């Protein structure tokens, strides 16, 4: 897909929202919410998922909440949606927690963590490991009520114009990434910069940065990174998964009757798996296309590089455990406890199955 074609084609990229019939509602009973997002409208992956969420809240509420989506830049820049909703300029947003580390370091753990939780595990921490209560607590400081509402699954290590054979090849590299992954990369000598996907394309094209990661094959191909970078590296150990979130202005959420609070909650929860599995499927399709039609050279990061990154990620987590903010320390300890628990099991479960499936046999 050419870089700018996604606006015309992405609307069909995800399953359609179910249509519900509902009795007529008096106009003065309808809540009209403005959703701001961190994405261009219909960007494959997060842009389409944001529209799905807006449509699903409207449908599940029987029209009692009407959500109108505004893409990044239409009301506020993508980087401004957190503040816009907390201050009441808009009612809710769709973005990723990895963008809000300047608000609180603890927030970053709800999005992605270097060498951290996979998509299913991330949801498990929130639902069964005490994560949601901590998520609510930190966002309440900014007048927000947060929900996870999707996940990209494993992200990729990024786009490069030279092969990576050792950690020395990364030192001094100007690299686009976000969240805790940027701290991990900085600790091994990379120069990290945070920016949106469109800005990353321009920076790569102009030479302002040397390399960068965004999401994965589906979204990355729509943005055209394969047109300006030769090598596509995996695995994205900086983001084993990347959760997408919806946050509602806390006063607006608290003003809802209980049934509409459940509508918002279930709308978010019900999209997590469809969004995640859509990403996985479209990533697989897009990767084939990138290789077969565009000649992209797919490369695996050397084990030596991943080991050094793992050590750097460990230093990042040690810093988090000693953060000046008491809530950040509690979030970190909760995350690490769940990671230890689930990692023990997944060696035998998902890890065992994936290793077995990769063996050389006839099937």
Euclidean distance between CA atoms 230 and 161, whole angstroms = 5
16 and 129 housed in the same domain: yes
CA distances from 71 to 34, 75, 138, 183, 199 (A): 11, 8, 26, 29, 16
Q: pLDDT tens, 203-252?
A: 999 999 999 999 999 999 999 999 999 999 999 999 999 999 999 999 99
Say how many domains are in the chain: 2
pLDDT value at 6 more than 50: no
Cβ proximity of 25 and 66 under 8 Å = no
Structural domain that includes position 351: 158-239+295-357
Asked whether residue 198 is assigned to any structural domain, the reply reads yes
Enter the tokens of residue 26: 């008096």
Q: Do 144 and 105 fall into the same domain?
A: yes
Residue 167 CA: distances (Å) to CA of 108, 162, 239, 307: 25, 13, 18, 10
Question: Are residues 99 and 205 both part of a single domain?
Answer: no
CATH number, residue 120? 3.40.190.170
> 243-249 and 92-95 as β-strands: parallel, antiparallel, unpaired?
antiparallel
Q: Give yes or no: residues 107 and 200 share one domain.
A: no
Q: How confident is the model at residue 126 (pLDDT cuts 50, 70, 90)?
A: very high
Mean pLDDT of 7-20: 39
* More confidently predicted of 5 and 169: 169
Residue 260: pLDDT above 60? Answer: yes
**Residue 324 CA to its chain's centroid (Å):** 26
Identify the pLDDT of residue 14: 35
> How many angstroms separate the CA atoms of 115 and 317, rounded?
10
Do 201 and 85 share a structural domain? no
Task: State what percent of residues in the chain have pLDDT above 70.
Answer: 92
Residue 1 domain flag = no
Does residue 189 sit in the same domain as residue 69? Answer: no
pLDDT at 24: 55
**Nearest Cα to 212, choosing from 245, 181, 189, 242?**
181
Asked if residue 107 and residue 190 are part of one domain, the reply reads no
User: Between 3 and 310, whose confidence is greater?
Assistant: 310
Residues 6+ apart with CB under 8 A from 109: 97, 116, 180, 320, 331, 332, 335
Is there a domain that residue 339 lies in?
A: yes
Query: Above 80 in pLDDT, residue 314?
Result: yes
**Res. 193: pLDDT tops 80:** yes
Q: Please state the rounded mean pLDDT for residues 85-106.
A: 97
Q: Which is nearest to 331 in space by CA: 35, 193, 184, 133?
A: 133
Confidence (pTM):
0.90
Assess whether 65 and 141 both reside in one domain. Answer: yes
Are residue 139 and residue 31 in the same domain, yes or no? yes
Q: Is residue 316 part of a domain?
A: yes
Q: Is residue 289 part of a domain?
A: no
Q: Is residue 288 part of a domain?
A: no
Q: pLDDT per residue over 132-175, tens digit each?
A: 999 999 999 999 999 999 999 999 999 999 999 999 999 999 99
Q: What is the pLDDT of residues 322-361, one digit of tens each?
A: 999 999 999 999 999 999 999 999 999 999 999 999 999 9
Q: Which residues contact 1 (CB under 8 A, 6 or more apart)?
A: 9, 221, 222, 286, 289
């Amino acid at each position: 897909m050419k870089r700018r074609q996604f606006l015309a084609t992405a609307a069909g990229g995800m399953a359609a929202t179910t249509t519900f019939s509902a009795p007529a509602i008096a106009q003065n009973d309808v809540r009209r919410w403005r959703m701001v997002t961190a994405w261009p409208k219909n960007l494959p992956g997060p842009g389409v998922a944001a529209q799905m969420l807006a449509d699903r809240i409207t449908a599940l509420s029987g029209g009692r909440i009407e959500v109108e989506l505004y893409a990044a830049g239409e009301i506020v820049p993508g980087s401004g949606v957190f503040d816009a909703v907390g201050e009441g300029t808009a009612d809710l947003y769709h973005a990723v927690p990895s963008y809000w580390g300047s608000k609180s370091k603890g927030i970053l753990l709800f999005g992605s963590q270097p060498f951290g939780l996979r998509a299913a595990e991330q949801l498990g921490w929130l639902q069964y490991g005490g994560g949601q209560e901590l998520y609510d607590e930190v966002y309440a400081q900014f007048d927000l009520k947060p929900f996870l509402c999707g996940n990209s699954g494993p992200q990729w290590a990024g786009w490069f114009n030279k092969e990576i054979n050792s950690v020395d090849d990364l030192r001094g590299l100007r690299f686009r990434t976000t969240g805790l992954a940027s701290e991990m990369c900085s600790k091994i000598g990379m120069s990290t910069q945070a920016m949106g996907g469109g800005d990353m394309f321009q920076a790569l094209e102009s030479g302002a940065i040397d390399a960068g990661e965004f999401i994965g094959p589906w979204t990355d191909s729509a943005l055209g990174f394969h047109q300006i970078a030769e090598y596509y590296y995996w695995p994205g150990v900086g983001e084993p998964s990347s959760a997408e979130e919806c946050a509602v202005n806390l006063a607006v959420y608290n003003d809802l009757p209980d049934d509409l609070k459940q509508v918002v909650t279930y709308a978010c929860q019900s999209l997590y798996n469809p969004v995640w599995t859509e990403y996985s499927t479209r990533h697989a399709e897009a990767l084939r296309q990138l290789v077969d039609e565009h000649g992209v050279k797919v490369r695996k990061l050397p084990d030596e590089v991943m080991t050094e990154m793992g050590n750097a990620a460990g230093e990042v987590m040690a810093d988090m455990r000693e953060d000046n903010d008491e809530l950040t320390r509690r979030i970190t300890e909760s995350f690490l406890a769940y990671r230890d628990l689930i990692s023990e099991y997944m060696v035998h479960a998902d890890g065992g199955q994936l290793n077995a499936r990769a063996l050389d046999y006839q099937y």
